[in-house]
């Protein structure tokens, strides 16, 4: 066995896991690991704030489906990545966060830059390790990657005391290991799959609700096959947006607080739902109680603890959703079931969709949100990857930007982390340098992590930031207009900063687009640009996101544009 | 409903913290918790009693099961389980008769008497929570100075 330091063992183990990039920021307690970057092939991508490193790793992980890796030092470095870890956990994104820690003998002494990050991170990680001797490091890394990327993915924290990084030990890099209490996948449940088909066939108004789990398990082809074979309309959760091509005749788009009118209407009318990889979050389903009495729910999920957590179900199909859907596809083939004739329900769905596509009232101005996002869709190649920030622009993206190639749309949907989209887009671009990557942003969210422009420029990661700029914390403003009698408090951004100048000060390209013509040119210029581009698009601060299902109400009670 | 959960966990630092944290963050109730190492030093057994409706108890079991450090989680059926709790009461002795009365009461509950002093006595009871509660009611008139309880520990009966 070769003897080496814990720091070298960590980097070697990560290389063995196929890690090519690490997003991070050095400090006193992780310097031994940083020193190893000078001697290995892993690229270090420097950030200006550790939170951004965690979001970059998250974006990388969601796009590549391999854990993204971020590094931070002890104390404040570690606490700065907590938001990123919690974001990854809420959206089941694979991530490895490596933090430095004070030396073992100093732990618990309130040493300089000491924080009990294991204790703090516990509720928001899938698992956390703190090796106390250098010899443990290789197995910890191996287990960490395995836990992060298997089953329902999630963030894993590895907190490495400085002396564990510095000291040498004979290192064994195990290929095999055992984690007794971890069973990421259960065997596929064929009987339940058969029952699911029966329930769908025996219902009059069946529908598919595809959640984020559909995207995580890449069950795109299987989902499409089942929808087409049984002629089932497909709605998605917001996290599931783009699990199914949104230009497909069977697609109704996302349901939820700001779901498509046709999706919410049809979800509210359905009598049987095949819910795939979703936790029935409040933002997606509003209150189900209003119609759940007649709605039969088939819940398919990799995580047994999701069954019955938020929603009582009639049938549970536990297991990897892609495997379960594959079994259903096979069974349908064997039984030679294929629907070709439009049912009464299907005709109703089609007519409802057509009605809302023609009759949803949009902002009358040239630079209304719908027109802006449809322009972006029109110009961007279909394989482009979208990330979003959190707020009105995010919901407009959900409503008006159609995802055509499945699995190309990512957002902080669970935790709702403002500032996620831009660093996540950088991580996404590192994972997929061959396609345009666009962060659909609002000015409020972009402000939170805008200093990642330095990373995008200096590390040559040419992403596009598409800022719908109403100089307002727009979603909060909308709630204040709707629920607080227009008492506007704490939402005005005062036109500050000038995003074109801001971009230029970092050496990025900044373009302001005030007409559709300018916008068209700006997007094209951004796609062909060799540096990151910020497109600043001034919009009407009074524009609301509609339809709107008020919190705690049913999907059928939408507030519509008047 | 009241539930007894038997949780076999990996015996390593931080596991108790994670289990109790799970109860806090998921808004579950802990009625009592007792922990001890098993015959295999790699594992500890935690016995947790909790209350909630059937759905909540099912969620607790699932969330515990999902934890990577838990090896086995069982929701024990009270009728197929031996479950006991140890409790020590410190009682006041106000007059000459009290000492004898306390002794009688302790005997009736299979208890042991310790630390007999002029004006106080300790009684150790090992029984089910219901029986301990019953003893407590009968001991109240003497005056309870202090109580310490271990929480329930339990094992499933063979063949159950």
Looking at CA atoms only, how far is residue A239 from chain B in angstroms? 22
Same domain membership, residue B139 and residue B120 = yes
Q: Which helix (H) or strand (E) holds A544?
A: none
B56 half-sphere exposure, CB direction, 13 A CA radius = 13
Given a contact cutoff of 8 angstroms between Cβ atoms, the answer to whether A332 and A230 are in contact is: yes
Give the mean pLDDT of B24-34: 94
Say if A562 falls within a structural domain: no
Quote the tokens at residue A234.
């497909």
Same domain membership, residue B66 and residue B96 = no
Asked if A184 reaches chain B (Cβ–Cβ under 8 Å), the answer is no
Containing domain of residue B151, as a range? Answer: 82-156
Say if A326 falls within a structural domain: yes
DSSP code for A122: G
The Cβ of residue A423 has, within 10 Å, a number of other Cβ atoms equal to 34
Do B62 and A181 make contact, defined as CB atoms within 8 angstroms?
A: no
Same domain membership, residue A152 and residue A200 = no
Give the mean pLDDT of A258-274: 94
Q: Which residue of B has its CA nearest to A147?
A: B68
- Which residues in chain A are closer than 8 Å to B10, comparing Cβ atoms? 180-181
When pLDDT is cut at 50, 70 and 90, the band that residue B11 belongs to is very high
Query: Which of the listed residues B26, B60, B76 is the one where a domain comes to its end?
Result: B76
Long-range contacts of B136-141 (CB under 8 A, 24+ apart): B136/B89, B138/B105, B139/B89, B139/B91, B139/B102, B139/B105
Per the structure, the count of domains in chain A is 3
Residue B56 maps to which CATH number? 3.30.70.260
Backbone angles phi, psi at A208, to 5 degrees: -105, 135
In this predicted model, what pLDDT tens digit does every residue of A489-508 receive, in sequence order?
999 999 999 999 999 999 99
Query: Which of the listed residues B57, B76, B95 is the one where a domain comes to its end?
Result: B76
When pLDDT is cut at 50, 70 and 90, the band that residue A287 belongs to is confident
Containing domain of residue A542, as a range? Answer: 363-546
A267 noted as active-site residue:
no
Annotated active-site residue in A112, A338, A382, A483: A112
In this predicted model, what pLDDT tens digit does every residue of A472-488 receive, in sequence order?
999 999 999 999 999 99
pLDDT of A290 reads 60
Given a contact cutoff of 8 angstroms between Cβ atoms, the answer to whether A158 and A117 are in contact is: no
DSSP code for B72: E
Say if A445 falls within a structural domain: yes
Same domain membership, residue B68 and residue B130 = no
Given a contact cutoff of 8 angstroms between Cβ atoms, the answer to whether A397 and A386 are in contact is: yes
Per the structure, the count of domains in chain B is 2
Q: Which residue of A has its CA nearest to B60?
A: A305
- Which residues in chain A are closer than 8 Å to B58, comparing Cβ atoms? 308
Looking at CA atoms only, how far is residue B152 from chain A in angstroms? 24
Q: What percent of chain B has pLDDT over 90?
A: 97
Q: Which of A182, A303, A312 sits opposite B68 (nearest CB)?
A: A182
Say if A85 falls within a structural domain: yes
Same domain membership, residue A474 and residue A326 = no
Same domain membership, residue B124 and residue B70 = no
DSSP code per residue over A469-536: E-SB-HHHHHHHHHHSTT---S-B-TT-S-HHHHHHHTT-EEEE--SHHHHHHHHHHHHH-SS-EEEE
**Residue B102 neighbours by CB under 8 Å, 6+ apart:** B91, B93, B113, B121, B123, B139, B142
When pLDDT is cut at 50, 70 and 90, the band that residue A556 belongs to is confident
In this predicted model, what pLDDT tens digit does every residue of A1-13 receive, in sequence order?
899 999 999 999 9
Say if A68 falls within a structural domain: yes
Same domain membership, residue A166 and residue A85 = yes
DSSP code per residue over A77-94: HHHHTHHHHHHHHHTT--
Q: Which of B93, B91, B10, B87 is nearest to B46 (CA)?
A: B10
Residue B141 maps to which CATH number? 3.30.70.1150
**Residue A548 neighbours by CB under 8 Å, 6+ apart:** A257, A258, A478, A482, A558, A559
Q: Is the pLDDT of residue A550 over 90?
A: no
Q: What percent of chain B has pLDDT over 70?
A: 100
Quote the tokens at residue A225.
């096959």
pLDDT of A553 reads 85
How many helices (H) and strands (E) are present in chain B, helices listed first? 4, 9
Same domain membership, residue A367 and residue A292 = no
pLDDT of A1 reads 84
Same domain membership, residue A140 and residue A195 = no
Do A303 and B65 make contact, defined as CB atoms within 8 angstroms?
A: no
A389 noted as active-site residue:
no
Same domain membership, residue B93 and residue B47 = no
Mean pLDDT of chain A: 96
Quote the tokens at residue A132.
């106390």
Same domain membership, residue A520 and residue A401 = yes
Q: Which of A119, A123, A181 sits opposite B69 (nearest CB)?
A: A181
Same domain membership, residue A435 and residue A291 = no
Mean pLDDT of chain B: 96
Query: Which of the listed residues B43, B76, B109 is the one where a domain comes to its end?
Result: B76
Q: Which residue of B has its CA nearest to A143?
A: B68
Residue A472 maps to which CATH number? 3.40.50.970
Quote the tokens at residue A531.
């540096």
Given a contact cutoff of 8 angstroms between Cβ atoms, the answer to whether A77 and A27 are in contact is: yes
Backbone angles phi, psi at A87, to 5 degrees: -65, -45
Q: Which of A126, A181, A303 sits opposite B71 (nearest CB)?
A: A181
Same domain membership, residue B96 and residue B35 = no
Q: Is the pLDDT of residue A555 over 90?
A: no
Say if A183 falls within a structural domain: no
Same domain membership, residue A390 and residue A325 = no
Same domain membership, residue B98 and residue B70 = no
Give Cα separations from A515 to A368, A375, A397, A472 (angstroms).
10, 11, 19, 20
Annotated active-site residue in A11, A95, A300, A475: A475
Same domain membership, residue A262 and residue A339 = yes
Same domain membership, residue A518 and residue A471 = yes
- Which residues in chain A are closer than 8 Å to B12, comparing Cβ atoms? none
When pLDDT is cut at 50, 70 and 90, the band that residue A186 belongs to is confident
A162 noted as active-site residue:
yes
In this predicted model, what pLDDT tens digit does every residue of B40-97 receive, in sequence order?
999 999 999 999 999 999 999 999 999 999 999 999 999 999 999 999 999 999 998 9
DSSP code for A180: T
The model's pTM: 0.96
Q: What percent of chain A has pLDDT over 70?
A: 99
When pLDDT is cut at 50, 70 and 90, the band that residue A332 belongs to is very high
Annotated active-site residue in A17, A21, A36, A50: A50
In this predicted model, what pLDDT tens digit does every residue of B86-127 receive, in sequence order?
999 999 999 989 999 999 999 999 999 999 999 999 999 999
Same domain membership, residue A437 and residue A334 = no
Q: Please return the burial class of A75, using the count of CB atoms within 10 Å of its CB with bins 0-12, 13-18 and 19+.
A: buried
Same domain membership, residue A319 and residue A245 = yes
Say if A226 falls within a structural domain: yes
Same domain membership, residue B66 and residue B112 = no
In this predicted model, what pLDDT tens digit does every residue of B127-160 receive, in sequence order?
999 999 999 999 999 999 999 999 999 999 998 7
A450 noted as active-site residue:
no
pLDDT of A399 reads 96
Give Cα separations from A69 to A96, A108, A412 (angstroms).
5, 27, 18
Q: Which of B3, B23, B123, B155 is nearest to B75 (CA)?
A: B3
When pLDDT is cut at 50, 70 and 90, the band that residue A291 belongs to is low
Runs of H (alpha helix) within A217-368: 220-230, 261-269, 282-285, 289-292, 321-334, 344-359
Say if A176 falls within a structural domain: no
Annotated active-site residue in A142, A162, A375, A429: A162
Give Cα separations from A239 to A277, A284, A424 (angstroms).
10, 9, 15
Same domain membership, residue B91 and residue B142 = yes
- Which residues in chain B are closer than 8 Å to A312, comparing Cβ atoms? 55
Query: Which of the listed residues A290, A323, A358 is the one where a domain comes to its end?
Result: A358
């Amino acid at each position: 066995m070769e003897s080496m330091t814990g720091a070298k063992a960590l980097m070697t183990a990560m290389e063995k896991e196929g890690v090519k990039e690490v997003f991070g920021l050095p400090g006193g307690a992780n310097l031994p690991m940083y020193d190893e970057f000078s001697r290995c092939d892993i690229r270090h991508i420097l950030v200006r704030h550790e939170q951004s490193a965690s979001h970059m790793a998250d974006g990388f992980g969601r796009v590549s489906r391999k854990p993204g890796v971020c590094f931070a030092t002890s104390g404040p470095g570690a606490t700065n990545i907590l938001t990123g870890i919690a974001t990854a956990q809420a959206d089941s994104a694979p991530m490895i966060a490596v933090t430095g820690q004070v030396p073992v003998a100093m732990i618990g002494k309130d040493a300089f830059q000491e924080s009990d990050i294991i204790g703090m991170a516990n509720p928001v990680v899938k698992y956390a390790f703190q090796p106390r001797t250098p010899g443990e490091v290789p197995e910890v890394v191996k287990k960490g990657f395995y836990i992060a990327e298997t089953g329902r993915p999630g963030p894993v924290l590895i907190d490495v005391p400085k002396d564990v990084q510095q000291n040498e030990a004979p290192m064994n890099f195990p290929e095999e290991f055992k984690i007794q209490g971890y069973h990421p996948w259960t065997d596929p449940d064929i009987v339940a799959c058969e029952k699911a088909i029966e329930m769908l066939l025996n219902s009059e108004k069946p529908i598919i609700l595809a959640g984020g789990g559909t995207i995580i398990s890449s069950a795109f082809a299987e989902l499409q096959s089942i929808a087409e074979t049984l002629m089932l309309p497909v709605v998605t959760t917001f996290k599931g947006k783009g699990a199914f091509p949104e230009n497909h005749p069977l697609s109704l788009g996302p349901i939820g607080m700001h779901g498509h009118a046709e999706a919410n209407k049809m979800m509210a009318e359905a009598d049987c739902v095949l819910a795939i990889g979703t936790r029935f979050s409040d933002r997606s389903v509003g209150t189900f109680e209003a119609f759940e009495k007649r709605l039969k729910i088939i819940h398919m999920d990799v995580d047994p603890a999701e069954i019955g957590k938020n929603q009582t179900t009639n049938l549970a199909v536990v297991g990897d959703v892609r495997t379960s859907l594959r079994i259903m596809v096979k069974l349908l083939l064997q039984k030679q079931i294929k629907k070709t004739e439009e049912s009464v329900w299907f005709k109703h769905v089609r007519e409802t969709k057509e009605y809302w596509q023609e009759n949803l009232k949009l902002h009358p101005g040239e630079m209304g949100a719908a027109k802006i996002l449809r322009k972006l869709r029109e110009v961007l190649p279909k394989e482009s990857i979208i990330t979003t920030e959190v707020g009105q622009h995010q919901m407009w993206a959900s409503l008006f930007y159609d995802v055509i190639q499945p699995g190309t749309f990512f957002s902080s949907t669970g935790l709702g982390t403002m500032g996620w989209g831009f660093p996540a887009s950088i991580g996404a671009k590192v994972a997929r340098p061959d396609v345009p990557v666009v962060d659909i942003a609002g000015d409020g969210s972009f402000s939170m992590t805008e200093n990642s422009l330095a990373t995008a420029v200096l590390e040559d990661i040419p992403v596009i930031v598409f800022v719908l700029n109403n100089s307002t914390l727009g979603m909060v403003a909308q709630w204040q207009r709707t629920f607080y009698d227009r008492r506007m408090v704490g939402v005005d951004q005062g036109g500050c900063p000038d995003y074109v100048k801001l971009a230029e000060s970092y050496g990025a390209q900044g373009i302001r687009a005030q007409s559709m013509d300018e916008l068209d040119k700006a997007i094209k210029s951004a796609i062909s640009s060799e540096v990151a581009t910020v497109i600043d698009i001034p919009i009407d601060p009074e524009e609301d996101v509609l339809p709107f299902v008020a919190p705690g109400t049913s999907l059928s009670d939408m507030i519509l544009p008047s | 409903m009241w539930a007894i959960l038997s949780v076999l966990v990996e015996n390593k630092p931080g596991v108790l913290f994670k289990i109790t944290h799970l109860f806090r963050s998921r808004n579950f109730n802990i009625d009592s918790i007792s922990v001890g190492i098993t015959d295999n030093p790699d594992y500890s057994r935690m016995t947790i009693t909790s209350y909630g409706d059937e759905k909540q108890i099912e969620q607790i079991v699932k969330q515990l099961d999902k934890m990577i450090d838990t090896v086995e989680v069982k929701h024990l059926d009270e009728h197929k389980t031996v479950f006991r709790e140890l409790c020590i009461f410190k009682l006041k002795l106000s007059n000459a008769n009290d000492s004898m009365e306390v002794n009688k009461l302790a005997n009736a509950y299979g208890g042991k008497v310790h630390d007999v002093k002029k004006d106080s006595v300790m009684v150790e009871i090992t029984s089910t929570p219901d029986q301990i509660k019953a003893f407590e009611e009968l001991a109240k008139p003497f005056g309870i100075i202090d109580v310490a309880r271990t929480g329930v520990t339990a094992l499933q009966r063979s063949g159950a």
